[in-house]
Amino acid sequence: MATAGRSGIGTNQEDVRRHNLGTVLGHVHRAGRLSRAELTARMGLNRSTIAGLVTELESLGLAEQAKPSGARIGAGRPSVDVKARTGAYVLAVDLRVDGLTVARVGLGGVVQARATGPVPAGHDPETIASSVVELMRLVVKDVEPGSALVGVGVGVPGIIRAEDGLVRLAPNLGWRDVPFAKILAERIGTFAVPVLGNDADLGALAEHLRGAGVGVEDLVYLSGEVGVGAGVIVSGHKLEGAGGYAGEIGHMPYVPQGKLCHCGARGCWETEIGASAIALAIGCPAERVGALGEYLEAVHEAPEDLRLVGRHLGRGLAGMVNMLNPRVIVLGGYLRSLFPLVHDDVESELAVHALIAPRELVRVTLPGLSGDSVLHGAAELAFEPLLADPVGRLAEACLDVDAALAV
């Protein structure tokens, strides 16, 4: 997954060099800081080639060399450390049904600035796009002169067509076939076409690269917001499906003739474990669902109705365990606040409904990136073109973001 979009080994020497440059940058980006010796070992190239590539990244403002920190490798001279530099950054957007977060994220996954705001009532795409741009203006205010905006990534709670960022369906926003990438692009000039991703897919990506799933090849990130979706990584690769729509676990049929779901069907799993069900269980008024996290934090002992939600969570997770046999399930969104309150209820249902062999292997856990999994995933999505071809991407990057956002 980490190498998505960077598999195209070139056919001539210059292509190979640009590819290698991106691979070095990818290692530095994911590790934040690592020694030249480690880079040499990971890439299987010789020391002088690595030194040359690092020097080129330095001259591009993407990396810097520093005195080593930490242990030496081998007995020789201490290897020089390579650090990600903030010369390039992306804008990451986490668009939720009940809130909007925009962050400026530098190489190495460092959140340099962030701003949050409400989602305009009515969920009109044009109005939301305007709100996004306002928050973008806030986070780029104090951007270091000369640093380059290299991408915009947006997490959306819906089904996204990958090739053009068309939102096929976002039931809880009331969107169907909304060209949100295009709408946003029209507002931010042409400096970087926004790339959209499903929120749960981005959560999975970020947790895999930087969170609770580092080194884990089979992972599910469950995004528990107003709707419930899953980002699934199998054998280290994103589960895409034929159209990129895989992971709509919230719409697994769960109760025959059950409650009406936003998607139009009855008895979907998310009607039992989504934000509305949680809110109802703890007496959070429907119009305050946006503050559900705070309500949950204030609960010290789960009332019976909330424990029932926990059992529904566990029973549904069991289905996921039986179907996908993941190593780690990360509970994101509201489920992050819910899980500690109903841990035993979740685990007991899991024990009843999951088959022993896959259950022995799975760990249900909280995100390593706290509430920022989707935001970090959006940033990683936006960084992908830079990591595929640093030189080419920088040549197209935006150096005057203020002007671009003034459009």
CA–CA separation, 88 and 115 (whole Å): 19
Should residue 348 be labelled a site residue for a second copy when binding is judged by CB under 8 A? Answer: no
Binder of a second copy out of 16, 260, 323, 406 (CB under 8 A): 323
Secondary structure element (H or E) that encloses residue 105, with its range:
strand 99-106
- Quick one: which segment of 50-58, 190-198, 249-257, 390-398 binds a second copy (CB under 8 A)? 249-257
Should residue 230 be labelled a site residue for a second copy when binding is judged by CB under 8 A? Answer: yes
Binder of a second copy out of 248, 372, 380, 384 (CB under 8 A): 248
Should residue 1 be labelled a site residue for a second copy when binding is judged by CB under 8 A? Answer: no
- Quick one: which segment of 2-10, 146-154, 356-364, 391-399 binds a second copy (CB under 8 A)? 356-364
CA–CA separation, 90 and 379 (whole Å): 6
CA–CA separation, 157 and 215 (whole Å): 26
> Could you tell me which residues are beta bridge partners of residue 148?
88
Which residues inside 138-167 make contact with a second copy, applying CB under 8 A? 159, 161
Binder of a second copy out of 5, 32, 70, 241 (CB under 8 A): 241
CB of 249 to a second copy, least distance (A): 6
Which residues inside 26-85 make contact with a second copy, applying CB under 8 A? none
Q: Which of 24, 110, 11 is nearest to 391 (CA)?
A: 24
3-class secondary-structure state, position 294: helix
Should residue 385 be labelled a site residue for a second copy when binding is judged by CB under 8 A? Answer: no
CB of 205 to a second copy, least distance (A): 16
Residue placing its CB nearer to a second copy in the complex, 155 or 227: 227
Binder of a second copy out of 153, 194, 326, 367 (CB under 8 A): 326
Binder of a second copy out of 169, 277, 364, 378 (CB under 8 A): 169
CB of 316 to a second copy, least distance (A): 7
Should residue 204 be labelled a site residue for a second copy when binding is judged by CB under 8 A? Answer: no
Q: Which of 237, 233, 160 is nearest to 195 (CA)?
A: 160
CA–CA separation, 109 and 380 (whole Å): 8
- Quick one: which segment of 179-187, 206-214, 338-346, 350-358 binds a second copy (CB under 8 A)? 350-358
Residue placing its CB nearer to a second copy in the complex, 260 or 298: 260
Residue 234: CB atoms within 10 Å: 16
Binder of a second copy out of 19, 114, 182, 327 (CB under 8 A): 327
Should residue 353 be labelled a site residue for a second copy when binding is judged by CB under 8 A? Answer: yes
Binder of a second copy out of 175, 254, 334, 339 (CB under 8 A): 254
Should residue 345 be labelled a site residue for a second copy when binding is judged by CB under 8 A? Answer: no
Q: Which long-range contacts (CB under 8 A, 24 or more apart) does 349-354 make?
A: 349/310, 349/311, 349/312, 349/313, 349/314, 349/315, 349/317, 349/318, 350/314, 350/315, 350/317, 350/318, 350/321, 352/315, 352/318, 353/314, 353/315, 353/318, 353/319, 353/322, 354/317, 354/318, 354/321, 354/322
Q: Which of 239, 241, 263, 237 is nearest to 252 (CA)?
A: 263
Should residue 9 be labelled a site residue for a second copy when binding is judged by CB under 8 A? Answer: no
Angle between helix axes 373-388 and 199-210 (nearest 10 degrees) is: 80
CB of 19 to a second copy, least distance (A): 19
On whether the CB atoms of residues 215 and 231 are closer than 8 A, the answer is: no
Return the half-sphere exposure (C-beta side, CA atoms, 13 A cut-off) of residue 41.
8
E strands, 192-297, are 195-198, 219-224, 228-234, 237-238
> How many helices (H) and strands (E) would you count in the chain?
15, 16
CA–CA separation, 200 and 177 (whole Å): 19
Binder of a second copy out of 315, 336, 376, 393 (CB under 8 A): 315
CB of 238 to a second copy, least distance (A): 9
Binder of a second copy out of 68, 227, 247, 332 (CB under 8 A): 247
Binder of a second copy out of 25, 246, 292, 302 (CB under 8 A): 246
State the residues that interact with a second copy by CB under 8 A.
159, 161, 168-169, 217-218, 230, 234-235, 237, 239-249, 251-256, 263-265, 268, 315-316, 318-319, 322-327, 352-353, 355-358, 360-362
